[in-house]
Chain A
Amino acid sequence: MALFPVQGIFDGDFVVLLVPIDDTDPMSVVAEKVAYHAAGRRVAAQPRPLQVRFQGRVLADTATVTDAGVGPLDVLQVGYR
C-alpha cells in the first residue's frame, strides 16, 4: 500500500483539489475520496453512482489505482454517472 496525491476535479466544482489516494484503492473508493471534498459542499449531492475519468476514459469501479496506471499528481475527474 502506498499513499500518494492526485489532482481531483469534481464535476460542477470550481477548483482542482489535492486528494490523497492509495495505490490499492478501487475507483469506487477513489471517486468517494474526491467527492468528499465537493459533493454536498459546493455541488449539490445526488443519489446517483459516481464514476472516475482519467485521460478521457471512464475507469471501471473495480479497477485499482495501480491497474489504471494512475500516478502521483495525475488528474482524475469525478462526477455522477
Chain B
Amino acid sequence: MPKLARSEWYDLTRDMNWTLRYVEEDQVWPQVQSNSYGIPTEQWWIWDEPYKITYPEYVHNQVDKDTSVYAVNSILARSAMYENLDPGWKSAILAHYGAIAVPEYMAGIGEARMGRFGRSAAWRNMATYGTLDETRHGQIQTFFPHGLLPEEPRADWAHKAFHTNEWGVIAARSLFDDMFTANDAVSTAIQLTFTFETGFTNLQFLGMAADAMKVGDVDFASLISSIQTDEARHAQQGEPTIKVLIANGQADVAQKLVDHMFWRTWHIFALLTGLSMDYYTPLEHRKHSFKEFMNEMVIKQFVDQFRDFGLEVPWYWESHFLQELDWYHHGLHLGVWGWRPTVWWNPDAGVSPEERDWLEEKYPGWNDTFGKVWDAITANIRAGKPELTLPETFPMVCNMCQIPLVNPAGHLVGKLDSPEPLILDTDGRRRLFCSEPCKWVYEQNPERFAGHLNIIDRFLSGVIQPPTIEGALNYMGLSPAEQGQDATNYAWAFAGQPGSRQAS
C-alpha cells in the first residue's frame, strides 16, 4: 500500500492531462468515439468524480466482494434452494439473466471507450474501473446461472440469449447498441451512466435484492447486491459530464441525450421489471406495485436530479411517460404471456383471484379493462382449449423500441386517443412507432436507425424462413424444449373453482 495518505497524491496522479503538440485533437479523440460537442479540450479538465477511489483500494474492495458472493453461491449450490423457489420468481431471474448477463460485457465496451476516449484523465481513470466492473458483472452473471443448469437447462440463455435473434433480445440489443456499444464516450456517460444506471438499474438492483431476500433467493440477492455496489460508483461518471456540458452552454445537448435514452430505457424497463414486479413476484412478497416503485424511486430521484442540474424533465413526461405507467406493462404482460413460446422463460400469468384483487387495488379499473381480456383467456383454459390462448400470427412491432405494438391496450384504458400506431413512410419503407417519443427519437437521427429491420420486417422481407410460427421460433433460437410455457400449468385459472381440475 502507498506510504503517503491518499489525499497527498491522488489529485496529482489522477490529473494526467496535457496539451497536445505532435498530433491534432481529432486524431486522439475522433468525434465518432468522443463527441466534444464543441467544448474546448481544457474545459473538460474540470471533470471531477464525486466518489474517489484508488486502484489498490479498488482491487481490495473487489476481492472482498467476489470472495463473499462466490462463497454464498458455493454453499447454496449444495442446497435445494432453487427448486423450492416460486415458479414466477424463477421466471423473473431467467428473464433477467438472459437479458442482462452478456450486455454487462457489452457495457464493458462502453466503459472501455470512456476509459480511452473520455476527455479528462480523471474520467478515464473512473471508466477503467467501470470496465473492470462490467467484466466482473458479466462473469458473475454467467457463472451463477451455469450452476443452475442441472435444475434448469434454459439457464444457459444467460449466455445464449444475445447470440440469438429472439425478439426481446433484438429489442434489448437495439437499446444497448444505441446506448453504449455504438455510442461515443461523452454521450455514453450521459446515456448509460446517468440515465440508465443512475436513473433505473441502480435503484432496480436495490429493489430486486430486497425482493430476492423476501422470496428466499439468497443466492440472487447476494449477486445483485454485490453488483449494485459497483453500479453506484461507476454510475457517477454522468454527473460531472453533464456539469461540463452545462458549464459550457450545452445544456440542450445534455437534455436531448437524456430525453432520448430515458424513453428507450423506460420501454425495456417496463418489459422486464414491470412484468416481474406486478405479475411474477409471489403476491405475499410484493412490497409495492411497479407503478409505486417507479413513482417512489425512479421518478422522484430523477426529477430531483434534473432540477439540481438545471435540466428539465423530458418533454414527454406528463403527456406520455406518466400516462404509460398505468397501462403499458399490463399490455406487454398480456403479449409476453400470449406469445409465451417466443421467450426463454415460463411467463407467470399472475391473475389468480387474489392477484386480480391486488391489481385492481393498485391499478383501479384493471378488472374492467385488462381483466376482461384475461376473462376470455381464462374461459378458454377452463374449457380445456389452451390452444386458443396460443398465437397463430405475430404482433406488429415498433421500429424504435422493437417492442410489440400494444397501443390498443392504451386505448382500452382511455389513455390513447387511437389504438393505431404512428406511421412514417420514407425511403420506400413504412415504419411503425408505438408512441410519439419513439417516433421523435427516430426522427432526431434517422441515418442511425434507418437500416435496422425489426423482427416483423425480417419476417415480411423473407429473412425468416419458412415464414411461419415454427420458422420464426427457429429463427429466434428457441427449440421446443426452450419455448416458454405457462409457469404454473394454468393453476391460476382454476384457483377458487370448486371441483375443477388443473388443465393438462
Which of these, A16, A36, A72, contacts B395 with CB under 8 Å?
A: A16
User: Whole-angstrom distance from the CB of A17 to the nearest CB of chain B?
Assistant: 6
Binds B, one of A4-12, A23-31, A61-69: A4-12
* Chain B: CB-nearest residue to A71: B430
Interface readout for B372-383 with A: 1 if CB under 8 Å, 0 if not? 110111011000
Total of A-B residue pairs, C-beta within 8 Å: 87
Contact of A5 with B373 in the complex, beta carbons under 8 Å: no
Chain B residue numbers with a CB within 8 Å of A44 are 372, 375-376, 379
Chain B residue numbers with a CB within 8 Å of A37 are 391-393
A12 to B413, CA, bound (A): 10
Chain A residue numbers with a CB within 8 Å of B261 are none
Of the four ranges (under 10, 10 to 19, 20 to 34, 35 or more), the interface on chain B belongs to 35 or more
* Chain A: CB-nearest residue to B413: A14
Contact of A41 with B377 in the complex, beta carbons under 8 Å: yes
Chain B residue numbers with a CB within 8 Å of A40 are 376, 380, 388
Contact of B421 with A16 in the complex, beta carbons under 8 Å: yes
Contact of B396 with A12 in the complex, beta carbons under 8 Å: no
User: Whole-angstrom distance from the CB of B281 to the nearest CB of chain A?
Assistant: 22
Given the interface pairs A7-B421, A40-B388, the reply to whether A14 lies near B377 with Cβ below 8 Å is no
User: Whole-angstrom distance from the CB of B45 to the nearest CB of chain A?
Assistant: 51
Contact of B430 with A42 in the complex, beta carbons under 8 Å: no
CB interface residues, B 331-381, toward A, < 8 Å: 331, 334-335, 338, 370, 372-373, 375-377, 379-380
Contact of B405 with A16 in the complex, beta carbons under 8 Å: yes
B406 within 8 A of partner (CB): yes
SS of A interface (majority):
loop
Contact of A15 with B335 in the complex, beta carbons under 8 Å: yes
User: Whole-angstrom distance from the CB of B120 to the nearest CB of chain A?
Assistant: 47
A12 to B408, CA, bound (A): 8
Contact of B456 with A18 in the complex, beta carbons under 8 Å: yes
A44 to B379, CA, bound (A): 9
Interface readout for B130-173 with A: 1 if CB under 8 Å, 0 if not? 00000000000000000000000000000000000000000000
SS of B interface (majority):
helix
* Chain A: CB-nearest residue to B377: A42
Given the interface pairs A37-B392, A41-B388, A41-B389, the reply to whether A15 lies near B380 with Cβ below 8 Å is no
Given the interface pairs A18-B456, A44-B376, the reply to whether A13 lies near B408 with Cβ below 8 Å is yes
A43 within 8 A of partner (CB): yes
Q: Point out which of B370, B380, B420, B456 has the most chain A C-beta atoms below 10 A from its C-beta.
A: B420
A17 to B404, CA, bound (A): 9
User: Whole-angstrom distance from the CB of A72 to the nearest CB of chain B?
Assistant: 7
* Chain A: CB-nearest residue to B410: A14
User: Whole-angstrom distance from the CB of A70 to the nearest CB of chain B?
Assistant: 13
A75 to B388, CA, bound (A): 24
A77 to B338, CA, bound (A): 20
A73 within 8 A of partner (CB): yes
Chain B residue numbers with a CB within 8 Å of A16 are 395-396, 404-408, 419-421
Given the interface pairs A14-B406, A16-B407, the reply to whether A42 lies near B376 with Cβ below 8 Å is yes
A16-B408, A17-B394 provided; 11 other pairs, C-beta below 8 A?
Answer: A5-B460, A14-B409, A15-B334, A37-B393, A40-B376, A40-B380, A40-B388, A41-B376, A41-B389, A73-B430, A73-B432
What are the 9 tightest A-B residue pairs by CB atom distance, in nearest-first order?
A14-B409, A16-B405, A16-B396, A18-B394, A15-B395, A75-B420, A73-B430, A42-B373, A14-B331
